[in-house]
């Protein structure tokens, strides 16, 4: 009997290691590129270091303590959170509805599928330039230069003319909407791919059962799409929380602290004020926040699956 | 599918093997820089140098400037800096590079042959790379870098727009400036544009007026911590921005304009005045060759004290202390800053040369810039510099004043609070 | 009744198309604007307000190609993009398949490790990454940069592959197993062909990512002959002055290969893959 068990164990061990070899290349690359940098970032977050000196002063948790009461840091997280919330609702709803429409047999389907992916492909330089021009606030010889203000005046709504990017009330919303516009193509393409993997027999079964389009959507499409939606949600959270190139290309370092987001804070701590340790502490705690958010979404989606 | 796979693998292998690291050649010096607009000129100079001396100069460009800074800092840690490179940062960072042995001391070379090299260069530009006796960074006194060109930052006015209200000469006092701006506003022309979406440009403008209002000594005393930012003179500095914003003299949205966009506004005659550096000659020439404009000092507020503007070395090169080709690198720097090469650089790139003898044949507008070099000052030549965290608060505070969110008093208090913290930190460190 | 129904349907389809067209126009507009700027000169680009420029300067594209030194950069970018994407598809699909279907100890731990790696913002790791690459002797080499970029896209691709493998019904794999296929065989002959939409998404995502990558290339590579396309575009953005027409021409050239990849790949985002698979 023990011999058999031993054999079983051996077989299982071989089985496991064969299975493990599937993830081995990924783990190898991961270990090469992440273990040392991660260790270094964690280590640096406990030090004060100006980026150049060979001497790193150990300060324990002082960086984190300072971070806890750094109002501007928390404000920057809120700004990113605001952009993320708009992206999660507006951008993802747009992406999902467009994916649903383009999944059906409609005219010009191929055209739409191609065109919706243009914004993600465009360089940030172009996007920044275009929106700077659209939202431009100044006038020349009495006429608005910015497209939006120009259109507002021409369509008899001069009271809505605004200094879109330099008004703290509208700047972040404008940035968030441009971010959504630039990013919805991603959600669109992933969701569209997800829709293709739903077995068409399920739709037929639903039709045979006499379910209308809403019911089919609610009971077939949505549950089947849940895992893909979750991926899109996680990617949206990651993309929106870490947004910064778009912000720099639209408003520079401008507007007091109204357009600061975590990554711009990290960069300005590194390059602006030469506090690499503090920047790493920001990176670590920001990572922790993102992991928590993603885990929360995962937990929620598990919950909804059980219900 | 399998055929595609093997094809890919073959390509990959061939390409990866075929590009091992090149061996370090003792007859080649490598330069890293960030100046996209000067890259071509550098390359042609390098070619000329190789023809003359047989030494190959490899010029590598890393741009934009923040990518370059990342590259320099990361390469310093990996100890793979090139023979010649630039440091694009505050004096404190420069000092740290020297302190940790990344930068060679060039003093001896400058002093050779009765200071031949030193005398050729604008003193103000050289000062940027100089550490004086008893400097606060504890760096051995000397010269550590070679300025390549000279810049200064002042105000520009659009002749055509000013003529519309009958003004022929640019304003000298701040009162005149306000009057002109108000009359311009009446005919629908905005007055002042500047790239205040970039923090350093705000700092520059504010610092000009701080020097004019309270004098250099009091500014330095503030940095030392002996004068608070809540001092009436500093409130006056902050209030300038409030005044400009409240009167509608600034172009709409000036705080979100990176300098490139601000330059567009002036070039396209959307604003009558600009606050910009001497590099703008190039930019305006590209965008609107017909633009008629002149350079002027910022209008002064306090007639008792001189107006100061920022200026000095536009860009400097340093030599790597660890370089095995140090002598060759220094020889090349000497060559590139002699009169012939400097004239060529100035002509090709429309920048002010750092060699004084090369000033003769430059465009008229550039010579207008060159005229006021005597008024220039620069943080890098000051005895004290403000802590970076305080500067950040200061500059962003001014942005808040411009968008009407905070009063000068509030900002002054906030800046002073950060200053207090920094002073305490410094005290603790000294203990 | 039927009439009413068709009218309703007609209106719905009209409204849908108006909505789709609005979104489509907003996407096409910047592309049009970019091409318009590319055809102008630096003097007219800010002044000429006409929709179609009076003077078409097609020479800009050639100038951009030559001035930017695009030849070698273009080739490099193609090499990098192809190698990285190929590497990622193989490595990430293997891993994604294992995380989805196979059993081994520490499976969840490893999976969450990959996901967690997505969350640390990149700027913090520049310095250690450069130090590491120099220590390994991989700095300034093609394979160093390729491996680094594989790593950048790996986590996200694994997440995508796992999600799609999870959704696939295991029937076909069971059938293949009965036919005597090994695990590797099933992955290659069954799982991968079934996951074509996922592969398409991963290819599109990573191509774009590598094609537009600029900062890591600057940090890890020194030789001009190893630099990717984005380096060529920098030539038109002076430290102070920007040559907009040439920049836009360069950007327009740079966007073409990505559009081609997208057009080819999006054809694979189609239904009905589970039926009629050819094994082999």
Is C113 a member of any domain? yes
User: Do C48 and C103 lie in a common domain?
Assistant: no
Ranked by mean pLDDT, which of A199-213, B371-385, C22-36 comes out on top? C22-36
The C-alpha atoms of residue B92 and residue A215 are separated, in whole angstroms, by 66
Chain A residues with beta carbon closer than 8 angstroms to that of C163: 227-228, 230-231
Residue B76 has which token pair?
Answer: 């310093």
Would you state the pLDDT for residue C68?
84
The residue in chain B having the minimum alpha-carbon distance to the alpha carbon of residue C280 is B1
**Range C200-209 average pLDDT:** 93
The residue in chain A having the minimum alpha-carbon distance to the alpha carbon of residue C114 is A30
- Which pLDDT band holds residue C2 (cuts at 50, 70, 90)? low
Evaluate if residue C83 carries a pLDDT over 80.
Answer: yes
Q: What is the pLDDT of residues A229-267, one digit of tens each?
A: 988 998 999 889 988 889 988 888 878 889 999 999 998
What domains does chain A contain, in order, with CATH numbers? Answer: 66-306 (1.10.3720.10)
**B271-277/B146-158 β-pairing:** antiparallel
Would you state the pLDDT for residue C275?
41
Would you state the pLDDT for residue A216?
87
**Range C69-91 average pLDDT:** 93
Residue C254 or residue A106, greater confidence: C254
**Range A5-16 average pLDDT:** 83
Nearest to A137 among B196, B252, B400 (CB): B252
Q: Answer yes or no: do B77 and C142 touch at CB < 8 A.
A: no
Is C276 a member of any domain? no
Would you state the pLDDT for residue B14?
53
User: Do C125 and C95 lie in a common domain?
Assistant: yes
Chain A residues with beta carbon closer than 8 angstroms to that of B190: 138-139
| Residues forming a β-bridge with B311 | B152
Evaluate if residue B242 carries a pLDDT over 60.
Answer: yes
**B28-33/A143-144 β-pairing:** unpaired
Mutation for testing the A interface, residue in B101, B242, B256 having most A CBs under 10 Å = B256
- The rounded mean pLDDT for chain B is 87
Would you state the pLDDT for residue B25?
66
Contacts of B2 (CB under 8 A, 6+ apart): none
Distance from CA of A94 to the nearest CA of C (A): 10
Evaluate if residue C274 carries a pLDDT over 50.
Answer: no
**Residue that is written with structure tokens 């505070």 in the block:** B397
Total count of domains within chain C: 2
**Range A150-166 average pLDDT:** 86
Domain that holds residue C9: 2-59
Would you state the pLDDT for residue C100?
92
The C-alpha atoms of residue A108 and residue A151 are separated, in whole angstroms, by 29
**Range C240-247 average pLDDT:** 82
Chain B residues with beta carbon closer than 8 angstroms to that of C133: 78
Evaluate if residue A218 carries a pLDDT over 80.
Answer: yes
CB B251 within 8 A of CB B265: yes
CB C165 within 8 A of CB C195: yes
Interface predicted TM-score (ipTM) of this complex, two decimals: 0.89
Final residue belonging to a domain, choices C59, C90, C108:
C59
Interface contacts (A, B; CB < 8 Å): 96
Helix (H, G, I), strand (E, B) or coil at A15: helix
User: Do C148 and C208 lie in a common domain?
Assistant: yes
- Which pLDDT band holds residue B276 (cuts at 50, 70, 90)? very high
CB B65 within 8 A of CB B75: no
Nearest to C128 among A37, A113, A197 (CB): A37
Q: Answer yes or no: do C31 and A193 touch at CB < 8 A.
A: no
* CATH code for the domain in which residue C135 is found: 1.10.3720.10
Residue A98 or residue C2, greater confidence: A98
Evaluate if residue C280 carries a pLDDT over 50.
Answer: no
In chain B, what are the helix, strand and coil shares in percent, each to the nearest 5?
55, 15, 30
CB A80 within 8 A of CB A259: no
Among the residue ranges A137-146, B165-174, B195-204, B402-411, the one predicted with the least confidence is A137-146
CB C97 within 8 A of CB A22: yes
Would you state the pLDDT for residue B281?
85
On whether any CB of chain C is under 8 Å from the CB of A227, the answer is yes
User: Do C35 and C77 lie in a common domain?
Assistant: no
Is C280 a member of any domain? no
The C-alpha atoms of residue B248 and residue B15 are separated, in whole angstroms, by 60
Domain chopping of chain B, boundaries: 27-149+311-366, 152-310+384-430
Residue C146 or residue C274, greater confidence: C146
Is C235 a member of any domain? yes
On whether any CB of chain A is under 8 Å from the CB of C22, the answer is no
- Exposure string of B172-186, with b = 16+ CB inside 10 Å and e = fewer, is eebeebbebbebbee
Residue B184 has which token pair?
Answer: 């311009």
Nearest residue to B1 (alpha-carbon basis) of A93, C199, C52, A161? C199
Nearest to C238 among B36, B62, B259 (CB): B36
Nearest to B392 among A52, A137, A273 (CB): A273
Evaluate if residue A137 carries a pLDDT over 50.
Answer: yes
Chain C residues with beta carbon closer than 8 angstroms to that of A126: 30, 33-34, 248, 251
Phi, psi for C45 (deg, rounded to 5): -60, -30
- Which pLDDT band holds residue B150 (cuts at 50, 70, 90)? confident
Distance from CA of A148 to the nearest CA of C (A): 14
B27-149+311-366: which CATH topology? D-Maltodextrin-Binding Protein; domain 2 (3.40.190)
Residue A263 or residue B347, greater confidence: A263
Among the residue ranges A154-163, A185-194, B69-78, the one predicted with the least confidence is A154-163
**Range A54-71 average pLDDT:** 90
Is C132 a member of any domain? yes
Among the residue ranges A140-149, A283-292, C85-94, the one predicted with the least confidence is A140-149
Evaluate if residue C200 carries a pLDDT over 70.
Answer: yes
On whether any CB of chain B is under 8 Å from the CB of A247, the answer is no
- Which pLDDT band holds residue B21 (cuts at 50, 70, 90)? very low
User: Do C101 and C175 lie in a common domain?
Assistant: yes
CA A7 distance to own-chain centroid: 49
Would you state the pLDDT for residue A136?
85
- Which pLDDT band holds residue B10 (cuts at 50, 70, 90)? low
User: Do C179 and C96 lie in a common domain?
Assistant: yes
- The rounded mean pLDDT for chain A is 87
Nearest residue to C165 (alpha-carbon basis) of A188, A231, A187? A231
The C-alpha atoms of residue C149 and residue C209 are separated, in whole angstroms, by 9
**Range C68-83 average pLDDT:** 91
Calculate the alpha carbon distances from B149 to B312, B339, B356 in Å. 8, 12, 10
User: Do C55 and C72 lie in a common domain?
Assistant: no
CB B96 within 8 A of CB A50: yes
Evaluate if residue C245 carries a pLDDT over 50.
Answer: yes
| Helices within B129-173 (DSSP H only) | 159-164
The residue in chain C having the minimum alpha-carbon distance to the alpha carbon of residue B9 is C83
Among the residue ranges A90-94, B141-145, C44-48, the one predicted with the least confidence is C44-48
Q: Answer yes or no: do C104 and A17 touch at CB < 8 A.
A: yes
The residue in chain C having the minimum alpha-carbon distance to the alpha carbon of residue B287 is C43
Q: What is the pLDDT of residues C157-167, one digit of tens each?
A: 999 999 989 88
Is C80 a member of any domain? yes
List the CATH code of the domain at B152-310+384-430: 3.40.190.10
Are B27-149+311-366 and B152-310+384-430 the same fold in CATH?
yes
**Residue that is written with structure tokens 């040559």 in the block:** C243
Would you state the pLDDT for residue B332?
93
Is C32 a member of any domain? yes
Would you state the pLDDT for residue C276?
37
On whether any CB of chain C is under 8 Å from the CB of B61, the answer is yes
User: Do C25 and C147 lie in a common domain?
Assistant: no
Residues 340-359 (B) with a CB less than 8 A from some CB of A:
none
User: Do C151 and C43 lie in a common domain?
Assistant: no
Burial label, B6 (beta-carbon count in 10 A; 0-12, 13-18, 19+): exposed
Q: What is the pLDDT of residues B325-346, one digit of tens each?
A: 899 999 999 999 888 888 888 8
CB B204 within 8 A of CB B391: no
- The helix or strand, by DSSP H or E, that contains position C77, with its residue range, turns out to be helix C70-101
């Amino acid at each position: 009997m023990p011999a058999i068990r031993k054999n079983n164990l051996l077989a299982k061990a071989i089985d496991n290691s064969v299975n493990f070899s599937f993830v081995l290349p990924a783990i190898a690359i991961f270990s090469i590129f992440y273990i040392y940098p991660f260790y270094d970032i964690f280590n640096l977050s406990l030090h004060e270091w100006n980026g150049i000196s060979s001497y790193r002063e150990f300060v324990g948790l002082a960086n984190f303590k300072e971070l806890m009461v750094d109002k501007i840091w928390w404000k920057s997280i809120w700004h990113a959170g605001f952009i993320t919330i708009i992206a999660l609702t507006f951008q993802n709803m747009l992406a999902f509805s467009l994916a649903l429409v383009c999944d059906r047999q409609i005219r010009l389907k191929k055209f739409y599928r191609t065109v919706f992916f243009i914004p993600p492909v465009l360089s940030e330089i172009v996007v920044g330039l275009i929106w700077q021009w659209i939202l431009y606030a100044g006038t020349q010889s009495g006429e608005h230069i910015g497209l939006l203000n120009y259109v507002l005046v021409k369509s008899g709504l001069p009271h809505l003319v605004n200094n879109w990017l330099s008004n703290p009330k509208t700047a972040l919303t404008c940035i968030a909407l441009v971010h959504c516009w630039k990013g919805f193509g991603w959600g669109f393409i992933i969701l569209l791919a997800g829709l293709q993997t739903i077995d068409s027999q399920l739709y037929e079964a639903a039709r045979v059962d006499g379910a209308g389009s809403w019911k089919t959507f609610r009971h077939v499409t949505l549950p089947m799409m849940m895992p893909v939606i979750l991926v899109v949600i996680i990617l949206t959270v990651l993309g929106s929380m870490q947004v910064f190139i778009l912000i720099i290309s639209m408003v520079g370092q401008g507007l007091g602290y109204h357009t600061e987001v975590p990554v711009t804070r990290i960069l300005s701590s590194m390059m602006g004020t030469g506090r690499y340790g503090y920047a790493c502490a920001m990176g670590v705690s920001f990572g922790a926040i993102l992991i928590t958010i993603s885990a929360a979404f995962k937990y929620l989606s598990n919950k909804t699956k059980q219900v | 599918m399998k055929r595609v796979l093997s094809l890919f693998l073959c390509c990959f292998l061939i390409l990866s093997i075929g590009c091992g690291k090149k061996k370090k050649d003792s007859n080649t010096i490598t330069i890293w820089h960030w100046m996209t607009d000067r890259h071509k000129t550098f390359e042609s100079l390098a070619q000329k140098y190789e023809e003359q001396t047989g030494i190959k100069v490899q010029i590598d460009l890393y741009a934009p400037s923040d990518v370059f800074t990342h590259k320099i800092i990361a390469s310093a840690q990996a100890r793979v800096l090139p023979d010649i490179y630039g440091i694009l940062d505050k004096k404190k960072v420069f000092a740290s590079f020297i302190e940790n042995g990344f930068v060679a001391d060039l003093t001896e070379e400058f002093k050779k042959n009765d200071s031949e090299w030193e005398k050729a260069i604008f003193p103000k530009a050289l000062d940027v790379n100089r550490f004086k006796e008893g400097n606060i960074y504890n760096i051995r006194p000397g010269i550590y870098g070679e300025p390549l060109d000279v810049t200064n930052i002042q105000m520009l006015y659009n002749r055509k727009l000013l003529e519309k209200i009958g003004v022929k000469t640019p304003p000298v006092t701040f009162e005149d400036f306000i009057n002109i701006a108000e009359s311009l506003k009446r005919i629908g022309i905005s007055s002042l544009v500047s790239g205040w979406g970039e923090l350093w440009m705000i700092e520059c403008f504010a610092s000009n007026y701080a020097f004019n209002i309270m004098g250099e000594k009091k500014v330095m005393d503030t940095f030392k911590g002996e004068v608070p930012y809540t001092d009436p003179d500093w409130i006056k500095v902050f209030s300038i921005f409030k005044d400009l914003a409240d009167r509608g003299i600034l172009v709409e949205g000036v705080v979100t304009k990176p300098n490139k966009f601000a330059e567009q506004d002036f070039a396209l005659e959307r604003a009558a005045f600009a606050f910009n550096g001497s590099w703008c000659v190039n930019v305006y020439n590209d965008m609107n060759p017909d633009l008629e404009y002149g350079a002027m000092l910022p209008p002064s507020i306090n007639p008792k004290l001189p107006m100061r503007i920022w200026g000095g070395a536009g860009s400097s090169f340093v030599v790597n202390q660890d370089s095995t080709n140090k002598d060759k690198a220094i020889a090349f720097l000497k060559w590139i800053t002699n009169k012939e090469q400097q004239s060529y650089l100035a002509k090709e790139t429309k920048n002010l040369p750092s060699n004084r003898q090369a000033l003769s044949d430059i465009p008229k507008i550039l010579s207008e810039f060159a005229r006021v070099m005597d008024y220039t000052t620069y943080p890098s030549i000051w005895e004290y510099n403000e802590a970076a965290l305080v500067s950040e608060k200061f500059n962003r505070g001014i942005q808040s004043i411009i968008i009407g969110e905070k009063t000068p008093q509030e900002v002054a208090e906030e800046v002073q609070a950060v200053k207090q913290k920094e002073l305490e930190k410094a005290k603790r460190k000294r203990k | 009744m039927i009439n009413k129904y068709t009218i309703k349907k007609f209106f719905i389809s009209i409204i849908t198309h108006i909505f789709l067209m609005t979104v489509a126009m907003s996407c096409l507009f910047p592309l049009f604007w970019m091409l318009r700027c590319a055809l102008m000169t630096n003097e007219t680009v800010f002044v000429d307000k006409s929709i179609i420029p009076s003077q078409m300067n097609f020479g800009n594209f050639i100038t951009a190609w030559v001035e930017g030194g695009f030849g070698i950069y273009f080739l490099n970018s193609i090499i990098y993009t192809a190698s990285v994407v190929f590497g990622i598809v193989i490595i990430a699909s293997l891993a994604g398949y294992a995380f989805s279907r196979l059993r081994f100890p520490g499976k969840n731990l490893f999976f969450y490790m990959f996901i967690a790696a997505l969350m640390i913002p990149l700027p913090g790791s520049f310095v250690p990454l450069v130090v590491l690459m120099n220590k390994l002797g991989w700095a300034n080499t093609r394979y160093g940069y390729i491996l680094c970029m594989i790593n950048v896209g790996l986590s996200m691709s694994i997440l995508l592959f796992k999600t799609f493998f999870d959704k696939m019904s295991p029937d076909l794999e069971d059938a293949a197993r009965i036919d005597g296929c090994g695990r590797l065989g099933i992955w290659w002959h069954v799982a991968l062909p079934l996951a074509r939409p996922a592969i398409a998404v991963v290819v599109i995502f990573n191509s774009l990512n590598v094609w537009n990558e600029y900062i890591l290339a600057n940090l890890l590579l020194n030789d001009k002959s190893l630099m990717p396309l984005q380096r060529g575009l920098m030539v038109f953005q002076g430290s102070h002055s920007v040559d907009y027409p040439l920049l836009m021409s360069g950007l327009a050239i740079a966007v073409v290969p990505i559009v081609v990849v997208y057009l080819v790949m999006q054809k694979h985002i189609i239904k009905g893959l589970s039926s009629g698979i050819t094994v082999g």
